[in-house]
Structures are given as C-alpha cells and as structure tokens.
Amino acid sequence: MDMAVRTARIALVGNPNSGKTALFNALTGAHQKVANYAGVTVERKEGRIHAADGRTLSVLDLPGTYSLRARSLDEEVTRDAVLGALPGETPPDVVVCVADATNLRLVLRLALELKQVGRPMVLALNMYDIAQRQGLRIDLERLSAEIGAPVVTTVATRKRGIAELVAAAQTQADLAVGETHSEWHAPSATEIRAAHREAERIMKACVRAPERPDTLTGKIDSVLLHPLAGLAILLGVLFVMFQAVFTWATPAMDGIEALFALVGGWVAAVVPDGLLQSLIVDGLIGGVGSVLVFLPQILIIFFFIIVLEDFGYMARAAFLMDKIMGGAGLHGRAFIPLLSSFACAIPGIMATRVIEAKRDRLTTILIAPLMTCSARIPVYVLIIAAFIPNETVWGFVSLQGLVMFGLYAAGIISALLVSVVIRKVFWRGAVEPFMMELPAYKMPDIKSVLFNLWLRAKIFMRRAGKIILPLMIIVWALSTFPYPPEGATGPAIDYSFAGMIGKTLEPIFAPIGFSWQMVVALVPGMAAREVAVAVLGTVYAVAGAEENVGALASVLSADWSLATGLAFLAWYVFAPQCLPTIGVVRRETGSMKWTLIMVGYMFGLAYLGAFIVYHTAVALGGG
Ligand SMILES: Nc1nc2c(ncn2[C@@H]2O[C@H](COP(=O)(O)OP(=O)(O)OP(=O)(O)O)[C@@H](O)[C@H]2O)c(=O)[nH]1
Ligand SMILES: [Mg+2]
C-alpha cells in the first residue's frame, strides 16, 4: 500500500457541548449546526481537511458523549465510530479528544477510556479563550505526559490553533502507520472507580483553579432559573418574539411583494396573453411569491431562537420546563428535540436519538409534529391578517401577535396533554430524572448569527424552488383544465379538476365549516404546509401580478366567516399536514403501527379541534 496517498482518518470525540462541531467546521470549512447546549450533533458527519503540506485528511464529527459505555443511540454512533464497528468502516487513524478546557474533569475520564482503545490520540483543549479569561492555569506539558498524548490548545470559533491541531494529528497518524490495534471492553465498577481516581489525580497535578471563577453565570442564573421569575421571563421572551413577528416584518414583506409584482408585471408585458403567461405569472411567480413573502417572519423567529441558543439560554429554558415536562411524562432530554421541531419536525425527530429509553423517545417523536414548525407560519400569518383586526390591546400589545402566541401555545399545551394520554394509555412508570449540563453564557457572535440566518433563508428558498414550484405547476394545471364549457358563467376553477376534487371531498369537511376551495388547498398542503397559502391565492383567483398578502387576506375575510377562519387555524395546529415528516417517523420508529397511531391521532385532533372551534364561534355569532 502506498502510504503517501492514503488519507488518514481523524475522529473528533468529546463531551457534549465541548465544541467538536465548531472545530469540525473550522477544520473543513463546513457549516454544520453549532449551538450552546448539549446534544446538537446526533449523527456522524465526514469532511475533508486540506493540510498545509498538500495532503488531505478525512475528519469525522461525532455526537458528544461522556463515556464509551454508550446509553443512547447517538452515543452508540460515537462508540462504534471509535471502535471501527460501523459497517464498512475501520477505526480512525487518530482520535482527537476534544475538551472544554474550562471543564476538564469529565473529559479526562473519557480521554483515559479512549487511551485504552489503543488508537493514537491528540487532546485538543478547546474554548481556551474562556479558560484564559477565567485565569485557569493548565500545565500543558505535564498534562500531555500524564495522558501520553500531545496536547493542543484551540479556539474553534476564532479558528485558533487549527493548523497546530492538524499538524499534531498528522504526526500521530504517521507515527502509527500500519498499526490497527483497537479494543475495548465495558469496564467493571472497580475499573470505573479507578479511572475516576486517576482523572482526579491528573486534575490536581495539572490544573490550578481559576483566579476569576465565572461568577457572572451564577448571578444571571439566580434570576433566569428562579422558579417564578425565570418562568415569567421565559414567557416574556416568547411574547416579545411574536410581537416582533407582526411589527418588524411589514416593511420587508412590502419590499418582497413589490419585487414579485415588478417581475410579474414585466413578464406579463413580454409574454403574450394566454396559457404560458398564465402559467408563469399566476402559477409560478404568483404562487412562489405568495409563499416567499413570509420569509421575514420566519427569519425573525429564527433570529430569536439562534441568539437565545448561542447565549446559552435554551439549556436554561429546558431546566425551567423540566418540572412541567416531567409532569406530562416527558423526559428532560425531550426539550431540545421539541425545540428543534419549531424549525421543522424532521430534525426534531432525529434529535430524539439523544433519549435513552425507547418509550421516552417514542413519546417525544409522537408529539414533535405538534410543535409549530416554520411551514405553518405563512398560513397563520395569512389567516390572522384576514380575520384578526390589526389593533393594539392594553395600550401596547399587538392583537395579531397575541393570537400568534396563542397558536404556538396551543401546539405546546396539546403536545403536553397528548404525552400525558400516551403515558396513560400505552405505558406507565416514572420518567427518569435528568439534568442537562448548563453551559456557560456566551455573547452571541454577530457573524455566526447572521450566517445561520442566511442558512435558514436558503433552506426556505430552496423549499420554494424544489417543492413549492413544482407543486404550483401541478395546482395550476389542475385548476386550469379542463376549460369551462361554452356559455359557463361561474369562475373557471369551478369546472376544473381541482374544483372536482374539492367538491368531491367537501362533504367530509363541511361539518367543520370548510368550503371546497379550502379542501383544494389542503391536498397539496400535505406535501408542504405553506403551499396552502399559494393555492388559496389560485383558487380565489387573486390575479398574479397584483398578488399580495393584503389582497388575498381581504378576499378571504369577505368569503369566509370568522368561524371558518378560526376553524382553519385550529386544523393547522393539529393536522399531520406533511408527508416527509410521516416518512421520517416511520424510519425513526421502525414501526408502521406507531406511524399510523400518530397520523390517526393528529387527524382526529385536527377534525375535533376545528369542529369545536367552528361551532363555538358560530354559536357566539361568528358564523
Ligand atoms: N468562546 C468559545 N466558544 C466556543 C468555542 N468552541 C465552541 N464554542 C461554542 O460552544 C458551543 C458548543 O459548540 P458545538 O460545536 O455545538 O459543540 P459540540 O461539541 O459539537 O456539541 P454536541 O454536538 O452537542 O455534542 C457553541 O455555542 C459554540 O459557539 C471556543 O473555542 N471558544
Ligand atoms: Mg456537535
């Protein structure tokens, strides 16, 4: 074998939240998700490093773990990667043990364990900036001698120490060429105790306590984690977020609408009247534009989430919610997956891999789609704009923002209730207590916040191109053909395939106040929820070029009763309106039965919720 061209493989292994993914990004130029809480990475990710000497190395980012005695699915991935037990994989040539330099005790135990596996190792003391700021003194030479591996200090977020780390890893790889020894056995209780003592001894020998211990974190925590004040602040933060959605977004929306109107007008002037013009202007530009216009709202919500994540607040929110979630039969570790589900249920469901007990994980998967994903935002905003007056209550509170807050709350509360029911119906037993490690507070980095927002915008726009655009072509065709017969008087859509489908299914939805036009919007909404907004624009023939949220909202408010509008919102809170999510649930649970149970209960709740809302509103005079 020609050693010179063989790519050495490096694996990043370390405690949760120690900065492995930040290092991976710094090493490879990738943009994997980094956030200030444990359990961000749940899968292995491979990337490439082009070293200074022209060689390439391959590097693996792995889920965080405290030990190779893996307990949850994500930790098993890390163990198997280190041992080369994943199908088709050999053990890595070098293990880079990534440490949070301010929290060495736990990582030393892991480092000792890794050492036993027998792979060449490098210890990366990451977050070295924070360690220095705190005045923590680490005897690097002694530490290196004690664990028998080179030690490199790094600041992943500032790309410091990266070249040194690569060089050290390369040297280790070269020294150990051809050596493939790798073994591990689960340690006995005696061995574990011995390892703890050894880690303690190394700590004492190499680390001197910080001169300026982090008292700020403690001070902030005494407020933010206060059982009452903390919860009030959490609610306040969410409240401000939804107020912002309705007050900050308008100028940006106006800009996007103007842009699409301009393009639509331009195409209408260039392309002759007829089918092609209708397809481009109404179907494509109007359809995609009517969804893209909600980008500002989505980015505002993500802005809050990203800043709070980076600050280290989300782990505190998990702490505050722990009692409530435990009461509902949810494991404390369910918080982060549920939080991820506010972006989209799919990454949320994947994130449940951090939950050890199968039942706890299954419960979390089953309720994750009730969290308000970002694809619901366009629908909520449109219907709220149509039916909720743009007024201020109690002097300063936007009523529309308040309703939005209520819809999110409805999702959360129903998720908790469903969890209680799952616990009652399918299994009992106490939930294991769990304490998430609270990360130190960090000032969010503006560049990375903006970058993450840009990634979010890209995801949303890619969806518009890849899913919404093709769907809109289908919807346009179904609502254009067949043409109305000679002498027909109603709108053309009445005679189209879309009209036929809607009218066939209408009887099912009539009891909850939905018209056939709404049914037409629900069907493609199964592929991507937000398409419903574009389809409503099509079925109500709001002309493409002058299409805007205001115009569509006023058509809806004229055509639907208030009761219908509210019932539609209720439907959207609960309905499993998204095939990709159902597919992921099937894959992650490995069970058709549980997938069907989820789809069934969600449709049931949607129908029941819309029914109750509709009839209550009618009874109160909103029909
Ligand atoms: N100040 C400072 N912050 C860092 C450094 N490295 C990472 N961070 C921050 O630490 C937090 C955790 O980083 P991640 O890269 O997500 O950690 P991880 O080890 O991949 O975490 P898991 O995937 O959950 O195991 C993020 O908020 C990073 O921005 C560093 O060297 N200095
Ligand atoms: Mg990570």
List the one residue out of 513, 545, 235 whose CA is nearest residue 383.
513
Contact 496, 482 (CB under 8 A): yes
Sign of the torsion angle spanned by Cα atoms 346, 348, 349, 353: positive
Distance of CA 193 to the CA centre of its chain: 38
Q: What is the DSSP string of 335-362?
A: HHHHHHTTT-HHHHHHHGGG--SHHHHH
The kind and range of the H/E element at 56 are strand 56-61
Contact 35, 310 (CB under 8 A): yes
Distance of CA 101 to the CA centre of its chain: 28
The mean of the pLDDT values for the chain is: 89
List the one residue out of 419, 414, 409, 408 whose CA is nearest residue 328.
419
Return the half-sphere exposure (C-beta side, CA atoms, 13 A cut-off) of residue 388.
21
For residue 16, the ligand 1 atom closest to its alpha carbon is: 25
Cβ of 157 closer than 6 Å to ligand 1, yes or no, is yes
Inform me whether the pLDDT recorded for 336 exceeds 90.
no
Look up residue 2 and give its two tokens.
Answer: 């020609």
Inform me whether the pLDDT recorded for 1 exceeds 50.
no
Q: Is the peptide bond before 482 cis (omega within 30 degrees of 0)?
A: yes
**Cα separation, 158 vs 127, whole angstroms:** 10
Q: What is the mean pLDDT of residues 569-594?
A: 94
The kind and range of the H/E element at 397 are strand 397-398
Which pLDDT value is given to residue 547? 59
Q: Which residues contact 425 (CB under 8 A, 6 or more apart)?
A: none
Alpha-helix runs per DSSP H in 118-161: 128-134, 140-147
What Rg value do the Cα atoms of the chain yield, rounded?
28
Range with the poorest average pLDDT among 174-188, 271-285, 371-385, 450-464: 174-188
Rounded distance from Cα 178 to ligand 2 centre (Å): 30
List the one residue out of 568, 578, 577 whose CA is nearest residue 609.
568
Which pLDDT value is given to residue 545? 42
Q: Atom 8 of ligand 1 has which residue's CA nearest to it?
A: 19
ipTM exceeding 0.90, yes/no: yes
Please report which confidence band the pLDDT of residue 544 belongs to, taking 50, 70 and 90 as the band edges. very low
The kind and range of the H/E element at 398 are strand 397-398
Contact 286, 547 (CB under 8 A): yes
For residue 126, the ligand 1 atom closest to its alpha carbon is: 31
**Cα separation, 163 vs 57, whole angstroms:** 13
Rounded distance from Cα 62 to ligand 2 centre (Å): 7
Q: What is the pLDDT of residues 138-188, one digit of tens each?
A: 999 999 999 999 999 999 999 999 999 999 999 998 887 766 667 788 888
Range with the poorest average pLDDT among 92-106, 340-354, 541-555: 541-555
Cβ of 16 closer than 6 Å to ligand 1, yes or no, is yes
Q: What is the mean pLDDT of residues 529-536?
A: 90
Look up residue 619 and give its two tokens.
Answer: 């009874």
Q: Match 């890619």 to its residue by tokens.
A: 462
**Cα separation, 349 vs 365, whole angstroms:** 5
Cβ of 130 closer than 6 Å to ligand 1, yes or no, is yes
Mutate which of 23, 28, 33, 36 for ligand 1 pocket (most atoms within 8 A of beta carbon):
36
Cβ of 155 closer than 6 Å to ligand 1, yes or no, is yes
Look up residue 73 and give its two tokens.
Answer: 């699915």
Contact 402, 564 (CB under 8 A): no
**Cα separation, 34 vs 21, whole angstroms:** 6
Contact 404, 380 (CB under 8 A): yes
Cβ of 340 closer than 6 Å to ligand 1, yes or no, is no
Domains of the chain, first to last: 8-208 (3.40.50.300), 232-428+446-622 (no CATH)
What residues are paired with 126 via a beta bridge? 100
Q: Which ligand is nearest to the CA of 22?
A: 1
CA 164 → CA 101, 118, 155, 160, 315, distances in Å?
17, 22, 12, 9, 32
Which pLDDT value is given to residue 179? 65
Please report which confidence band the pLDDT of residue 85 belongs to, taking 50, 70 and 90 as the band edges. confident
Torsion of CA 131, 133, 136, 138, to 10 degrees: 60
List the one residue out of 102, 96, 111, 67 whose CA is nearest residue 199.
111
Cβ of 22 closer than 6 Å to ligand 1, yes or no, is yes
Beta-carbon count within 10 A of 222 CB: 11
Q: What is the mean pLDDT of residues 18-30?
A: 95
What's phi and psi for 95, nearest 5 deg?
Answer: -100, 120
Which pLDDT value is given to residue 210? 80
The kind and range of the H/E element at 136 are none
